[in-house]
Amino acid sequence: MLAVLPFENLTGDAGQDYFSDGLTEEMIAQLGRLDREHLGVIARTSVMRYKHGQQQLEQIAKELGVQYVLEGSVRRDSDKVRITAQLVQMRDQTRVWARQYDRELSSLLILQGEIAQEIADEIHLALGNDHQRIAVDRTRAVSPSSYETYDLYLKGRYFWNKRTRQGLQQAIEYFQQAVTKDTNYARAYAGLADSYALMTSYGFASPHEFMPKARAAALRALQIDDSLAEAHTSLALITENYDWDWQTAEKEFRRAIELDPNYATAHHWYAEHLTWLGRFPEALRESERARQLDPLSLIIATDYGAILYTAV
């Protein structure tokens, strides 16, 4: 297991937190796709608890149950970015890889893939020659048409993760701007679907108004990229909570997990789905996997307890 700790924002401007947080989330996503059979990556919810924290790496690794930790920092000027990153093997707390990158902002998308590939190569060496070399999918890393579109996407995810009415409303605005700039950016459509869906799930908006919008965004994301696990998970939630179509919801959850076994939200929501169907052993397995991937998530832990209670 590997944890990507929050990249430190060295700009001196707290308003740029969305950028460093977005880079953290992107590295989690990139590394989570590297070797799903041998490498699990801790979800954003758990690692963000260590932002601005003073915990020692040894303590963090113990709490998260990981063998590797990636930490770094980011400094952003008007048109340039400097990123430092280092990979630490926690068994003996040795630094196995470290680099500093100075790039134009316009090449940030390619740089993320470059960092992920170098980390993958180091982990490949640690796993030994019995494992096939991991290759980063660079085409997915550079999917938006411009850095400006990607920047809007990062802002959308930053506010989506706040899970408040105002945060979700702001997320919708940023995701909408992103898809307006790039009508073929599937991840921005998936973010839009997530935002509309949670607005109704949390009782912030009418499902009759927002769920059709969520569905349209999820279907558009899948039309562009049918391999996007987030979009399949969004569609599963919509068909489950709005259509009461349990068969289609299960198919979408299972497809999302097949595409990205490291996506904790898919395991979490699928566990809830299985609980409502009375399939408790399966629900507990999925919930336990969600806990492994996101060990400090309060909602995942709470729902795990709810499944145990319901199963009695």
Distance, in Å, from the CA atom of 190 to the CA atom of 127, rounded to the nearest integer, reads 34
Is residue 14 classed as helix, strand or coil in its secondary structure? Answer: helix
Where are the extended beta strands (E) located within 19-176? 68-76, 80-89, 94-104
Statement to judge: residues 135 and 206 lie in one domain: no
Q: What is the mean pLDDT of residues 155-171?
A: 90
Statement to judge: residues 135 and 48 lie in one domain: yes
* Per-residue pLDDT, 139: 46
30-59 pLDDT, tens digit each:
787 777 667 789 988 889 888 877 788 889
Q: How many domains does the chain have?
A: 2
* Per-residue pLDDT, 23: 80
For residues 97 and 208, which has the higher predicted lDDT (pLDDT)? 208
Tell me which residue range forms the domain holding 213.
167-311
Which of 118-122, 152-156, 233-237 bottoms out in mean pLDDT, i.e. has the lowest? 118-122
* Per-residue pLDDT, 109: 66
pLDDT at residue 272 greater than cutoff 90: yes
Statement to judge: residues 307 and 171 lie in one domain: yes
State the distance between the two ends of the chain, measured CA to CA, in whole angstroms. 32
Residue 157, in any domain of the structure: no
Residue 150, in any domain of the structure: no
127-159 pLDDT, tens digit each:
555 545 555 554 444 456 667 888 898 889 888
Residue 235, in any domain of the structure: yes
pLDDT at residue 260 greater than cutoff 70: yes
Tell me the C-alpha to C-alpha distance, in Å, between residue 207 and each of 11, 105, 170, 200, 201: 40, 39, 19, 5, 8
Distance, in Å, from the CA atom of 71 to the CA atom of 119, rounded to the nearest integer, reads 12
Is residue 159 classed as helix, strand or coil in its secondary structure? Answer: helix
Record the pTM: 0.77
Is residue 239 classed as helix, strand or coil in its secondary structure? Answer: helix
pLDDT at residue 194 greater than cutoff 80: yes
* Per-residue pLDDT, 45: 80
* Per-residue pLDDT, 232: 97
* Per-residue pLDDT, 143: 55
Q: What is the mean pLDDT of residues 257-261?
A: 92
195-229 pLDDT, tens digit each:
999 999 899 999 999 999 999 999 999 999 999 99
Q: Which of 102, 125, 141 is the C-terminal boundary of a domain? A: 141
Distance, in Å, from the CA atom of 295 to the CA atom of 43, rounded to the nearest integer, reads 8
78-82, 91-95, 137-141: which is most confident: 91-95
Mean pLDDT, the chain, rounded, equals 86
Residue type, 188: A
Statement to judge: residues 175 and 78 lie in one domain: no
Statement to judge: residues 107 and 206 lie in one domain: no
* Per-residue pLDDT, 255: 97
| Chain Cα centroid distance, residue 209 | 27
